[in-house]
């Protein structure tokens, strides 16, 4: 049996995991695809670096083009990251008829539709399961498992680093900076962890999930994004006291054909299954018109979970290669995109205000909510022994984003409100 030759771009956290699985499970993998799988060339930045796995130095190169242009190579596994240059490598590899496996959400969120269109033209596979929720087969689930349904809502903890940070802050009272460093040391964070903590990584993943779930081209610019860098221990404590857990949640939903996609720190009611997803674990909750509620759970980052998805994609591409049916499964979105406006986007809110502790303040505040048509679920005023102001904690019923913006703008101009301390979306 002629071996299938694979070219690897990148041998860092994920690449090393891919080598381990391909070597460690070779017998099982080759029996599934009907021939040995050989990683025959690997591009790295620094070929002198010591790695956690043994690699024959003869197959290392510092020039990715050596891998892309090798006529012996059938499939390219891209686990090096980067966007513009990496896109050029992938488009050229497709031009040569090579199949692509990638873990790169930055690339797929920005150029997925162009890459998939090229793949279809060239009858090649482009699989990217590891790009969203590392070890969870959520992309395959949306493409295949729910092909028959109409997805109405996708809600996800899709960034392992931030869930790890929020969990440690919440359960151990750890400091934000210390936990971020730990997440970096464990290989969870992106090379620039700003994209994790500021929500961009999650936004890219939600753009990918939204595109698949709603079959329309959700772009990164369509996702409203807020990260966790401003979340304080006090906010987390408040959430807990009220029966919520603080999570960085990606939410994509549709009413009729109008959709909205966002990523923000969210207070999730403890009884919702996604509230108990902790540490580096991810979960994606999918609500389909016919199927109802479903949820998928697993490690969202780290070498071996992520490599599991990469190698499963590799197996799928090689099986297709044997059957001569590559390029059939690309989901190229076909629906016209209709984004909800701020009047149509509705959710519950938590608001924490520091206000003057004097008569009539509460009335001014509740009056503002009434003026802008926001109905309230609860209002609690707490005296604060250490400060001259009182704390007011408000939870609204579902309110439009437009109305809430008007309320908050009005609060900025109210003298009795010292500070709008925090505002969070509430789910569940
Ligand atoms: N880490 C994780 O848990 C997850 C990561 N991903 C994605 O997988 C991809 C890889 O992530 P990860 O393994 O963590 O990243 P690492 O930084 O650990 O590894 C990147 C690898 O690519 C090589 N590399 C980078 N730039 C070049 C270049 N220009 N030419 C040749 N080689 C290059 C590096 O070489 P050298 O080793 O010599 O520096 C390194 O081996 C990213 O797209 C990431 O977003 C997806 C899901 C989970
Ligand atoms: N940095 C990412 C890695 C996986 O995509 C995360 O923390 O989830
Ligand atoms: Na996945």
Q: What is the pLDDT of residue 330?
A: 62
Expressed as residue numbers, the domain containing 29 is 4-133+303-323
Do 273 and 362 belong to one domain?
no
Ligand 1 atom at minimal distance to the Cα of residue 131: 46
Do 239 and 226 belong to one domain?
yes
φ, ψ dihedrals at 140, nearest 5°: -60, -35
State ipTM. Answer: 0.99
Average pLDDT, the chain: 95
Which residues, judged by CB distance below 6 Å to any ligand atom, belong to the binding site of ligand 1?
Answer: 10-15, 43-46, 49, 64, 79-82, 103-104, 130, 134, 187-188, 190-191, 301-302, 306
Do 223 and 88 belong to one domain?
no
Q: What is the pLDDT of residue 349?
A: 98
Q: What is the pLDDT of residue 275?
A: 97
Site to probe by mutation for ligand 1, drawn from 12, 53, 187, 203 as the one with most ligand atoms within 8 Å of Cβ, is: 12
C-alpha span between 97 and 85 (Å, rounded):
19
What average pLDDT does the segment 126-136 reach? 97
Nearest CA to ligand 1 atom 18: 12
Q: At residue 274, does pLDDT exceed 70? A: yes
Do 93 and 224 belong to one domain?
no
Cβ-based neighbours of 145, under 8 Å, separated by 6 or more: none
Query: Where is 67: in which H helix or E strand?
Result: helix 64-68
Do 212 and 287 belong to one domain?
yes
Which residue matches tokens 């090379």? 191
Q: At residue 344, does pLDDT exceed 70? A: yes
Tell me, in angstroms, the distance from the centre of ligand 1 to residue 190's CA: 9
Site to probe by mutation for ligand 2, drawn from 106, 161, 185 as the one with most ligand atoms within 8 Å of Cβ, is: 161
Tell me, in angstroms, the distance from the centre of ligand 3 to residue 305's CA: 9
Residue 333 lies in a domain: no
Residue 91 lies in a domain: yes
Lowest mean pLDDT among 26-30, 37-41, 185-189, 405-409: 185-189
For helices 105-121 and 200-214, the axis angle rounded to 10 degrees is 30
DSSP label of 337:
P
Choose one of 323, 357, 386: the last residue of a domain.
323
Q: At residue 382, does pLDDT exceed 80? A: no
- pLDDT digit string (tens) for 55-101? 999 999 999 999 999 999 999 999 999 999 999 999 999 999 999 99
C-alpha span between 61 and 253 (Å, rounded):
44
């Amino acid at each position: 049996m002629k071996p299938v030759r694979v070219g690897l771009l990148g041998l860092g956290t994920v690449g090393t995991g891919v080598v381990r699985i391909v070597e460690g499970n070779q017998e099982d993998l080759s029996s599934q695809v009907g021939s040995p799988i050989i990683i025959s060339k690997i591009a790295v930045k620094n070929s002198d670096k010591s790695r956690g796995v043994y690699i024959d130095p003869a197959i290392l190169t510092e020039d990715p083009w050596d891998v892309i242009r090798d006529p012996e190579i059938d499939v390219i596994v891209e686990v090096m990251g980067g966007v513009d240059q990496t896109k050029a490598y992938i488009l050229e590899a497709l031009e040569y008829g090579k199949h692509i496996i990638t873990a790169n959400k930055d690339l797929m969120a920005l150029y997925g539709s162009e890459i998939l269109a090229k793949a279809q033209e060239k009858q090649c596979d482009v699989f990217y399961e590891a790009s969203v929720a590392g070890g969870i087969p959520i992309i395959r689930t949306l493409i295949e498992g729910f092909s028959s349904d109409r997805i109405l809502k996708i809600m996800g903890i899709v960034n392992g680093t931030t869930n790890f940070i929020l969990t440690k802050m919440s359960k151990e009272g750890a400091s934000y900076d210390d936990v971020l460093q730990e997440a970096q040391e464990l290989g969870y964070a992106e090379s620039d962890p700003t994209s994790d903590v500021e929500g961009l990584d999650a936004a890219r993943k939600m753009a990918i999930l939204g595109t698949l779930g709603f079959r329309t081209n959700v772009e990164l610019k369509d996702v409203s994004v807020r990260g966790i860098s401003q979340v304080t221990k006090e906010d987390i404590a408040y959430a807990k006291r009220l029966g919520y857990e603080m999570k960085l949640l990606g939410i994509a939903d549709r009413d009729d054909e109008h959709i909205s996609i966002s990523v923000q720190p969210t207070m999730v009611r403890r009884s919702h299954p996604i509230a108990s997803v902790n540490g580096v674990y991810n979960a994606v909750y999918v609500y389909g018109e016919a199927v109802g509620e479903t949820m998928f759970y697993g490690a969202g980052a780290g070498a071996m979970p992520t490599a599991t998805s990469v190698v499963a994609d590799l197996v799928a591409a090689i099986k297709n290669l044997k059957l001569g049916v590559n390029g059939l499964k690309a989901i190229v979105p076909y629906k016209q995109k209709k984004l909800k406006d701020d009047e149509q986007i509705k959710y519950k809110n938590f608001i924490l205000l520091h206000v003057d502790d004097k008569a009539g303040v509460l009335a001014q505040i509740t009056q503002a909510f009434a003026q802008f048509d926001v109905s309230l679920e609860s209002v609690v005023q707490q005296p604060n022994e250490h400060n001259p102001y009182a704390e007011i904690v408000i939870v609204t019923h579902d309110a439009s984003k437009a109305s809430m913006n008007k309320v908050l703008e009005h609060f900025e101009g109210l003298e009795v409100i010292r500070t709008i301390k925090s505002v969070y979306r509430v789910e569940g």
